[in-house]
Structure 1
Amino acid sequence: MGELPQQALDQLFFSARSYNGYLDKPVPQATLERIWELMKMGPTSANILPARIIWCTSDAAKQKLAACASAQNQPKILSAPVTVIIGMDLDFPETVPELFPHNPGAKDWFADPVARETAAFRNSSLQGGYFILAARAVGLDTGPMSGFDNQAVDAAFFAGTAIRSNFISTLGHGDPASIFPRLPRPGFDRFNTIV
């Protein structure tokens, strides 16, 4: 495989932006399912796939989520066609025998609660990155954010489970009027070391 054409690189990276507002265009469920089909293919440690996704598409769900967010983020959540909660399942080891079957002892790698939480956070964050790229690949835009009360989100959406929220992101067809000018990105020599 060779490098992707520039148009694809632009769509995924160079021209892609984080949006604060969206056009009034719906996002069908089939597109949400397509995003999942793409993002699930990204690598995670031992294929653990700890991310659990809540796709907030109804006004009621978005209002419930907005109530857990900062004042600055509430209008973004309410106006987006979809807002996504990327969660991490601390019970992910239960699916390891199915998802990593060639090593029967792999579930035991995550017996320690600290190691399990570290793996869940790291790998659900990776999957969140794959979500952003998958959304861009299917022609949509995102607005990933912190600025919310994790405990409130967990109580509102994950009560009674071992799932904890990682971050949230809006999703839809971005409104070009809602983005800021492109911010600086340092060159290779500034933040990288080859040894």
Structure 2
Amino acid sequence: MSEKLAKEALEQLFTKARTHNGWREEEVPDALLREAVDIAKWAPTSANSSPMRVLFLRSRQAKQRLAPALMPGNLEKTMAAPAVAIVAYDLNFYEHLPRLYPATDARAWFVGNEALIAETAFRNGTLQGAYLLLALRAMGLDCGPMSGFDKAMVDAEFFPEGTVKSNFLINIGYGDATKVYPRGPRFAFEEIARIL
């Protein structure tokens, strides 16, 4: 049986973690990005589908390719981030199921069912993106997840083959606490949950 995480770990992952908009000029080691992906990949997806694909933009040139697709309010903070993850999902994920889920012929569930492919890829790719965000925080990194970009432009620029689709972005680095917005309120348990 697992034990409850220490308060400090829960604070780092959830209660004291913030969405960052400004960054200290401190490089993010590639090793931490790799470790975060290697941790996040173990979290559950349906039939171990694992559709998430991630492109980390590190160089100024790579981020400049992203710039035209960003909403104006997201441009400066994204260009300043030491790393930017394009979290995407692969619509061909099911082709890997014979290796990832050998217990049954799960690939057959998806062949020719475009609606199920799209729904499964998006849902599980989104789950994996959230796992990645928590893994990045677990590495001691700050994150600024966001929408606010033109997905079609990003897909054309970075995933021109057409089977990988962008979902959301995560700016990654060591945050500048002076640029964090005041903490927004959250719902009480009773407003969003019930125990039956």
TM-score interval, smaller chain? over 0.9
Coordinate RMSD, CA, aligned:
0.8
- TM-score scaled by structure 2? 0.97
Q: Distance in 1 between matches of 2:16 and 2:144?
A: 14
Percent identity over the alignment is 42
Q: How far off is 1:192 after superposition?
A: 1.0
Which one-letter code corresponds to 2:26 in the other structure?
Answer: K
Q: Write out per-residue CA displacement over residues 26-59 of structure 1, whole angstroms, 9 at most, x where no aligned residue.
A: 0111111001111101100100100110000010
User: Structure 1 runs of 4+ off > 6 angstroms?
Assistant: none
Aligned to 1:133: 134
3-state secondary structure, aligned to 2:120: helix
SS of the aligned residue for 1:67 comes to helix
* Counterpart for residue 110 of structure 1: 110
Counterpart in the other structure of 1:92: 93
Per the alignment, residue 73 of structure 1 pairs with 74
Q: Classify the secondary structure of the residue corresponding to 2:69.
A: coil
Could you report, residue by residue, the CA deviation over 1:47-91 in whole angstroms, capped at 9, with x for unpaired residues? 010011000001011111121110001111100000000011001
Matched, 1:180 2:181: yes
Q: Structure 2: give runs of 5+ residues left out of the alignment.
A: none
Superposition map of 1:25-40 within 5 A: 25-40=26-41
SS of 2:78 mapped into structure 1:
helix
| Partner SS for 1:30 | helix
Determine if contact 1:65/1:77 at 8 Å carries over to the other structure: no
The DSSP-based 3-state class of the residue aligned with 1:84 is: strand
Deviation string 1:104-159 (CA, Å, 9 cap, x unpaired) is x1001122000000000000100110011001101001101010000000000000
- Give the Cα separation in 2 of the matches to 1:161 and 1:117: 13
